[in-house]
Structure 1
Amino acid sequence: MTAHQTIEAETTTISGAEMVVRALIDQGVEVLFGYPGGAVLPIYDALFSEPRLQHVLVRHEQGATHAAEGYARSTGKPGVVLVTSGPGATNAVTGIVDALMDSIPMIVITGQVATHLIGTDAFQECDTIGITRPCTKHNYLVKDIADLPRILHEAFHIATSGRPGPVVIDIPKDVQFAKGAYQGPTEVKHAHNYAPRTKGDPGKIAEAVALIAKARKPILYTGGGVINAGPRAAELLREFAELTGAPVTSTLMGLGAFPASDSKWLGMLGMHGSFEANNAMHDCDVMVAIGARFDDRVTGRLDAFAPTSRKIHIDVDPSSIGKNVRADIGIVGDAGQVLEDMIAAWKQRNLSVDAAALKAWWTQIDAWRARNSFAYRPDTKLIKPQYAIERLYELTKDHDTYITTEVGQHQMWAAQFYKFEKPNRWMTSGGLGTMGYGLPAAVGVQMAHPDALVIDIGGDASVQMTMQEISTAVQYDLPIKIFILNNEWMGMVRQWQQLLHGERYSHSYSSSLPDFVKLAEAYGGVGFRAEHPDELDDKIREMISVKKPVIFDCRVTKEENCFPMIPSGKAHNEMIMAEEARDLGSIIDDAGKRLV
């Protein structure tokens, strides 16, 4: 009898470590990301002979959490992390906070020193519960083996219900060794009566659709909550846009929920959003926010945000409604279910829009769109970063492609120039803005979608923060592509220093970058370098064809800035455009002095 068969047969008297393995299987987990250590070795021992769980050995615990985020974001399933106590847990904190900010379902199982050693400053001890309390949706310290089955199953329920988020389970080593009775997901009785509201209030839904029908300048403002609600929610969003004729914009986290090829799509809004999206948001008279939390990167100056609009806010998290921006109508519920009910209410009441007003609204939007706010000056000798993303998109759009990113200028250019038609294809760090996110996230995405083309669009500074995870990709035969826009700077830092800090470039230039091609080869991958626009297409095609991990060193212009840009503290109609920014002195004299 094998070890896993023994676990199944002895469900009444199994160890805590075996309970963890059994619970993961019962919850449908297939992949987990982790790094072993002393306080979690009993669980690793239980994993040793369990073929139904594939463990991915990362090179750093932060990599494990970001890989789990990529896995979760691209599948809709919770990502699972297994790390040891002390530094294992603290190294995971960045990814835990990242998942909390971006509403990513994640289970993080940490080892802990034995219960009698807690509080004694034992080797590799830390207060994991205290440290992670403010950065998790919920956390547990398991003190009794009798509680472990319930906690394990309860954690999955909490992480995946309502607004998703990370849950930490801290398990002391003696609890992992202890024997107890295991209970399955349907057998345990949850201690927490957590039942988030998913159906919106019918009265408020009726009020909302009536207000939308009267709108002369409506806009649908969508966020990551639409993607978290599942593929059906994205379909319903498209149907609702057709019914109302309203333009659609999105946060960074919501890209892909509405197809970029649709004529109603305005592009991303916010600090580096499109001219048409930001001006439409500023001038709208009815805003419908669906699964978005009014982040400061989106709103700009709060007292000037959509100043003449009535605001309808739909969110599964009741604490988000009215938190940053006052809602005239707040609807608590799952984005998909509320959209379904709004469509039904619209049809039942036989509502229609003001066609003449809507036509005039679209005429204005088309005038803003004609500005072509993402335009840039082409260069025949040097690769512009915008051009690199355009060519990457054109050459990969017909593949089964998933995009992850690091954080910085390249992230914004990717959001501007890579067009998404479907949800769950865009994985990026939005709320926390975590440099180093994209490479391990790509590992997680590739584990979930082994036959897909997975590309991390990175910057030369950001990608180095977790570069060691290339070793993970090589070990598990994951042919991820790391497409680096190499400008030798911390690009977004340099841009702000140029525009807002008098061109004082304090510690933002990287003077000793590695040879990324040789680095790829040293890890066992493949390296490419492109330095001229004429060679870019052929090398991208070659990169796609390689069935190994690739680092692509795309040498781009060094001082290109990302525009449009809403300076911090400014309104949506106070954007700096690329052509205006070319007169750098006037921007610093005028805007810079007021913003620093």
Structure 2
Amino acid sequence: MRAIEVGLRFLVQQGVRYVFGIPAGSINAIYDALLDIPELKPIVAKHENSSGYMAGSYTRITGIPSICVASSGPGATNLVTPAANAWKQKLPVIFITGSVPSTKLGKGGAQELYAEPIFASITKMSRTVLDPHQLPDILAEAYHTAISGVPGPVHLAIPIDIQMTDIGVRELPVLPPIEQPVMDSSAVKAAATRIKAAGLHGAILLGNGAKASSDSIVQFAETIGWKVATTPRGKGAFPENHPLSLGVYGLSANIKASEYLNGSGHDVLLIIGSSLGELATSNWESRLVAGKELIHIDYDQSVLGKCYETHYPVHGEIKIVMAELLNQFSVDGQDIAHASDVFQGLAEAAAAYEQGDEEWNTLAAIRRLRAAAPKNARFFLDIGEFMTYSIQNLLIESGQEFDIDINFGGMGSGIGGSLGAQLAEPNRPTICITGDGCFFMHGLEVLTAKEYQLPILFVVINNARLGMVYHGHMLQYKRCLEDFSQERVSIAGVVQSLGLRHAEVRSIDQLQGGHVQEWLSHGGPVVVEVIVEGNEIPPMGERVKFLQGATY
């Protein structure tokens, strides 16, 4: 049996189900082996960069590692950006790149590249495999490294001859035991004591790491009666139509979230699952922590105290920590009965959120899309001007999900990411909100969605310019190059040429609940072009301040 086939069969044994990438000469042995391993399904993308975002979103949602492959040379370098994104998001994606034959290394082979050091700083492990008999064991080591401790991506460069070498019949590698998460019980107890002492004078800020513990966090917030905000990536961790919700803090923050968290009405700030970077904290806003004691819960110990002084650091798996916090309150007989009337006024809150969208523009389109979306929809956001409106105005209710690769996602990352999301949860409606600039970068992945019959609704906001760049320059420099805008291109026309279902929207009347239901029930991908002028200034002022150096 070929060395690569043994390695792939080991990964199948661990539950790996998808190989994302693009076939090419130096990795053709992998794709040939897949013909004999039906449990491992290939998803052939249109660009390696997109395939990496597909793998990342699938792994983030399911918790199951995925494989992302690319050829040597340019294929490998096209994976650097999604690998860095997986590194930022702590996702156990297994990146495999091909290489020229091991006997020809250093002799100027076509597309030869020493990829190992390129990936070293953005993976937990990057190695070149030069012994075919060791390939299965090294692949097992890479898998174990990816899922152990704080998860993260790994990378292997495998020369084509090493992949193809017959190593005979052999047993699959055996994984060493996985260390179980450890919780500092004394730290949890100290945090609980401080929360009780604060009474109602506290607030909660949730990051992306809190999403897996959303139910217990809602229960805890209701128990203690504290207001809750989320970071942009944490959006969806707490129902935004809940009376305790403040909305989003950080980039494109909701006004009430900024005013409350930057105010002096609370003594304690409980942070759950956020590394507190620039976009999560409005450029490391000092008022967020001024005069407050911080309780910070995260499974990655390295983020505790990194950006702000933390008085009560709690290192541990967030689900386990939240369960123990709830237990601390119930055991002590101190259930604070704030939950009895906490759900009053939900309908009023949701209705108020939808008002004021009579004028046709990007904001109106985002609000109408939210109002028409199914109660179990997943919104997958791309990167651009439209994301600032979406962060503020997509009210995410219980049962819905929100995803954005905001820390290292490039333009077009949401298009590829939405395919991975749909594969991860095939029964959940997926709505990808993207822009014309993003579409021109990676829009042909809608064809990949067609080929794999993925029923994703792609909403493309077309304002005929690089909107975030244009408005950023106008805010910062009061002028910009004409090149940031372009003659409007019919994206619906492009999509029509690809044989996909499409629609063109120019008014609120064309974006109603019935339209969205019809598009989502089509059975395959649908691309909706939303045509707007885009002259209104998006809510991105804090980002501009940072670029101006105002917070240095």
Q: Would you say same fold, with TM above 0.5?
A: yes
Report the counterpart of residue 122 of structure 1 in structure 2. Answer: 109
Q: Secondary structure at the match of 1:253?
A: coil
Select the residue among 351, 354, 366 that pairs with 1:389: 366
Displacement of 1:287 in angstroms is 1.0
Deviation string, structure 1 residues 360-391 (Cα, Å, up to 9, x no partner): xx9xxx9xx99x998986445xx221221221
Displacement of 1:499 in angstroms is 1.7
Report the counterpart of residue 294 of structure 1 in structure 2. Answer: 276
Which amino acid is 1:546 matched to?
A: H
Report the counterpart of residue 158 of structure 2 in structure 1. Answer: 171
Displacement of 1:595 in angstroms is 7.9
Report whether the alignment pairs 1:532 with 2:515. no
Deviation string, structure 1 residues 384-429 (Cα, Å, up to 9, x no partner): 212212211222223x422212102211222222233357832211
Q: Secondary structure at the match of 1:261?
A: coil
Report the counterpart of residue 586 of structure 1 in structure 2. Answer: none
Report whether the alignment pairs 1:426 with 2:408. no
Report whether the alignment pairs 1:95 with 2:82. yes
Mapping of residues 370-449 of structure 1, within 5 Å: 378-380=357-359, 383-398=360-375, 400-422=376-398, 425-449=401-425
Q: Assess if the C-alpha contact under 8 Å between 2:203 and 2:227 holds in 1.
A: yes
Report whether the alignment pairs 1:309 with 2:292. yes
Report whether the alignment pairs 1:495 with 2:471. yes
Displacement of 1:149 in angstroms is 2.4
Segments of structure 1 that go 5 or more residues without pairing to the other structure are 1-13, 571-590
Q: Distance in 2 between matches of 1:217 and 1:140?
A: 51
Q: Secondary structure at the match of 2:162?
A: helix
Report whether the alignment pairs 1:457 with 2:439. no
Displacement of 1:98 in angstroms is 1.4
Q: Secondary structure at the match of 2:151?
A: coil
Select the residue among 16, 22, 26 that pairs with 1:35: 22
Segments of structure 2 that go 5 or more residues without pairing to the other structure are none
Displacement of 1:514 in angstroms is 2.8
Deviation string, structure 1 residues 413-468 (Cα, Å, up to 9, x no partner): 22222233357832211211411111111222222333432221011112221112
Report the counterpart of residue 538 of structure 2 in structure 1. Answer: 562
Q: Distance in 2 between matches of 1:173 and 1:422?
A: 48
Select the residue among 250, 254, 262 that pairs with 1:270: 250
Deviation string, structure 1 residues 518-551 (Cα, Å, up to 9, x no partner): 1111111022111122222254344233233222
Report whether the alignment pairs 1:85 with 2:69. no
Which amino acid is 1:331 matched to?
A: V
Q: Distance in 1 between matches of 2:365 and 2:545?
A: 31
Q: Assess if the C-alpha contact under 8 Å between 2:96 and 2:155 holds in 1.
A: yes
Q: Distance in 2 between matches of 1:376 and 1:354?
A: 32
Mapping of residues 229-240 of structure 1, within 5 Å: 230=212, 233-240=213-220
Which amino acid is 2:430 matched to?
A: V
Q: Secondary structure at the match of 1:208?
A: helix
Q: Secondary structure at the match of 2:378?
A: strand
Q: Secondary structure at the match of 2:542?
A: coil
Q: Assess if the C-alpha contact under 8 Å between 1:374 and 1:564 holds in 2.
A: no
Q: Secondary structure at the match of 2:290?
A: coil
Select the residue among 178, 198, 201 that pairs with 1:217: 201
Which amino acid is 1:282 matched to?
A: N
Report the counterpart of residue 475 of structure 1 in structure 2. Answer: 451
Which amino acid is 1:82 matched to?
A: V
Q: Secondary structure at the match of 2:219?
A: helix
Deviation string, structure 1 residues 34-53 (Cα, Å, up to 9, x no partner): 11111111111111232222
Displacement of 1:126 in angstroms is 1.1
Deviation string, structure 1 residues 70-103 (Cα, Å, up to 9, x no partner): 2223323223212221111111111111121222
TM score, norm. by length of structure 1: 0.83
Q: Distance in 2 between matches of 1:453 and 1:354?
A: 36
Distance 1:518-1:461 versus aligned 2 partners, 3 A rule: same
Report whether the alignment pairs 1:243 with 2:223. yes
Report the counterpart of residue 546 of structure 1 in structure 2. Answer: 522
Q: Secondary structure at the match of 2:441?
A: helix
Q: Secondary structure at the match of 1:443?
A: helix
Deviating more after overlay: 256-265 vs 152-161: 152-161
Displacement of 1:326 in angstroms is 1.5
Distance 1:560-1:37 versus aligned 2 partners, 3 A rule: same
Q: Distance in 1 between matches of 2:204 and 2:8?
A: 44
Distance 1:422-1:174 versus aligned 2 partners, 3 A rule: farther
Distance 1:294-1:141 versus aligned 2 partners, 3 A rule: same
RMSD: 2.9
Q: Assess if the C-alpha contact under 8 Å between 1:455 and 1:482 holds in 2.
A: yes
Q: Distance in 2 between matches of 1:302 and 1:257?
A: 22
Q: Distance in 2 between matches of 1:324 and 1:394?
A: 37
Deviation string, structure 1 residues 321-361 (Cα, Å, up to 9, x no partner): 11111211111111111111222223333446699xx9xxx
Which amino acid is 2:299 matched to?
A: V
Q: Secondary structure at the match of 2:83?
A: helix
Q: Distance in 1 between matches of 2:532 and 2:149?
A: 42
Distance 1:164-1:423 versus aligned 2 partners, 3 A rule: farther
Q: Distance in 2 between matches of 1:211 and 1:282?
A: 20
Deviation string, structure 1 residues 181-229 (Cα, Å, up to 9, x no partner): 64446x2458xxx84x7232111111111111122521111111123xx
Report whether the alignment pairs 1:200 with 2:180. no
Report whether the alignment pairs 1:515 with 2:490. yes
Q: Secondary structure at the match of 1:485?
A: strand
Distance 1:202-1:542 versus aligned 2 partners, 3 A rule: closer
Q: Assess if the C-alpha contact under 8 Å between 1:199 and 1:338 holds in 2.
A: no
Which amino acid is 1:387 matched to?
A: A
Q: Secondary structure at the match of 1:213?
A: helix
Report the counterpart of residue 20 of structure 1 in structure 2. Answer: 7
Q: Distance in 1 between matches of 2:388 and 2:125?
A: 32
Report whether the alignment pairs 1:106 with 2:83. no
Displacement of 1:262 in angstroms is 1.8
Distance 1:451-1:207 versus aligned 2 partners, 3 A rule: closer
Q: Secondary structure at the match of 1:325?
A: coil
